[in-house]
Structure 1
Amino acid sequence: MANSTGIQALVFDVFGTVVDWRSGVAREAQAFLNRHAPGLDPFEFADAWRREYSPAMEEVRSGRRPYVRLDVLHRENLVKVLNRLGITGIPEAQIDALNLAWHRLDPWPDAVEALYRLKQRFIIAPLSNGNIRLMVDIAKRADLPWDAILGAEVVRAYKPSPQVYSETVEILGLEPAELCLVAAHNGDLAAARRLGLSTAFVARPTEHGAHQTTDLKAEQAWDFVVDDLLQLAGQLGCTR
């Protein structure tokens, strides 16, 4: 697997970088909202649910709470949002079903072809805060050809905690610079760089919708800065 960069494996942030979580959650929530809150915009609902994501993980990162998988946090966050919106009396089975929205997300248009190209020369795997079953379900639905499932549940910690990156390097038997994190989020890349990983920024300027204000551009001189994953594949010599 030798190449001019020395990189042997690529690990990917998934939510926002590989898959379009916002459109997928909104799509999955539409029927639920039609029944229980017909005036509510499904994209606003998706955004409200996502806003609980980082605070919930911070409870684990800070040590205030033991590690629990993201499916658990997502469900707790969903209940919080429903209560805040005054959507009450929902059967538990309907809440469970809506929580699976995160398992049924679509890839960005460039993602699948690029991953298949990159897989020819590199080990590829998710490095997501999503739990293993969540990553497997997304991959099977979206045809993401991972070589392994890595990330938060494997190391029982959430990004950007340092051990997520350092333990992943150790799991793959690599030197830090031989592992490249691919992400649409500068903070994720900065945490990986501090541990010596190679870094690739991919622009996803509509991850949070048309009025996104964060991560619109690379904020450091990452090893690769690309407009999409096909461009990254080309820069790494995976043209077909």
Structure 2
Amino acid sequence: MQTATATPWADAGSVDVLLFDVFGTVVDWHGSIVREMAHAHPQVDGAAFARAWRAGYQPAMARVRSGELGWTLIDDLHRIILDTILPQFGLAHLEDAARAQLNRVWHRLDAWPDSVEGVRRLKAKYICCTLSNGNLGLLTRMAKRAGLPWDCVLSAEVFRAYKPDPATYLGAAKVFDVPPHRVMLVAAHHDDLAAARACGLRTAYVERPFEFGRDQPKDVAARAENDLHSADLLDLADRLGCPAAV
């Protein structure tokens, strides 16, 4: 929810570029997959399915980082994970076309209710760009469907390295020809923010307590190491001096 009396951040003018983590921060991957499963496969526990699919995300990227797999797009990693978990949920019978359609749910994720307006307000003052492990095609289709008004779409695909590799954060700063300290990462994940800080970026935490569903709320307590802590992207816009249109 948006706070009524957000305190403006004194250093708002020290940042030129806002980079956004996407999955969980800007879009509701869990709720979107639950809704998709309720429509396509109502016999399946959609919440458990969504969490099982997401649980394979970091291990799959670790296989790329270790060299076990060559460079592999998130779309393809999502498909590998999907094929692994389908038997657990009684869906081993799905044909390839059905699996491909289900895998594309990651292109159809719904934005959190505050995201579109929040990004719209923030881009009036800052360059607003994705910095996601999702591949370019995925992020572009997602933005087009959800109406997310990015200035630019950047992905780990551009740098052929997955976050938290420094090549992603520093590469994004280089794209815009600004020093890292004039870039801020906006994310709902403290590990992502910590890696960005280690590269010299500023950091803003966004509360997404129900990223994993309302039955598994996250601890969203403020941490002193972040420059900003916000309830949502509208609150962040307030803190960064980007008022709503009158």
TM-score by length of 2: 0.91
1:24 aligns with 2:32: yes
CA-CA distance at 1:213 after TM superposition: 5.7
- Could you report, residue by residue, the CA deviation over 1:63-118 in whole angstroms, capped at 9, with x for unpaired residues? 32221110000011000001333422311000000001111111111111110011
Q: Distance in 2 between matches of 1:104 and 1:62?
A: 30
Shift of 1:150: 0.5
What letter is aligned with 1:126? T
Q: Is the Cα–Cα contact under 8 Å of residues 184 and 215 in structure 1 kept in the other structure?
A: no
Shift of 1:27: 1.3
Distance in structure 2 (CA, Å) of the matches to 1:200 and 1:217: 13
**Inter-partner Cα distance in structure 2 for 1:189 and 1:229:** 16
RMSD: 1.4
Residue deviations 1:159-211 (CA, integer Å, cap 9, x gap): 11111111111111110011100000000000000000010001101001124
Counterpart residue identity of residue 208, structure 1:
F
User: What's the CA shift string for 1:136-179, capped at 9, x where partnerless?
Assistant: 11101111111111121111111111111111111111100111
CA distance in 2, matches of 1:216, 1:195: 23
Structure 2 equivalent of residue 120 of structure 1 = 124
1:201 partner letter: Y
Q: Alignment partner of 1:79: what SS?
A: helix
Distance in structure 2 (CA, Å) of the matches to 1:32 and 1:125? 33
Contact 1:199-1:222 within 8 A present in 2 as well: yes
1:5 pairs with one of 13, 16, 24: 13
The correspondence for 1:105, drawn from 106, 109, 129, is 109
Aligned residue for 1:63? Answer: 67
How far has the Cα of 1:4 moved from its partner? 4.6
Distance in 1 of aligned mates of 2:198 and 2:216 = 26
Q: Does 1:140 align with 2:144?
A: yes
Q: Secondary structure at the match of 2:178?
A: coil
1:53 aligns with 2:57: yes
TM-score norm. by structure 1 comes to 0.93
CA distance in 2, matches of 1:84, 1:65: 24
Identical-pair percentage: 47
Bigger CA drift: 205-214 or 140-149?
A: 205-214
- Contact 1:61/1:161 (CA < 8 Å) preserved in 2? no
- The residue aligned with 2:84 is 80
Unaligned runs of 5+ in 2: 1-10
Residue in structure 2 matched with residue 44 of structure 1 by the alignment = 48
- The verdict on how the C-alpha distance between 1:28 and 1:211 changes in structure 2, with shifts beyond 3 A counting, is closer
Q: Report the AA paired with residue 24 of structure 1.
A: S
Deviates more, 1:21-30 or 1:172-181: 21-30
Match of 1:228 in 2: 232
Distance change in 2, residues 1:4/1:74 (3 Å): closer
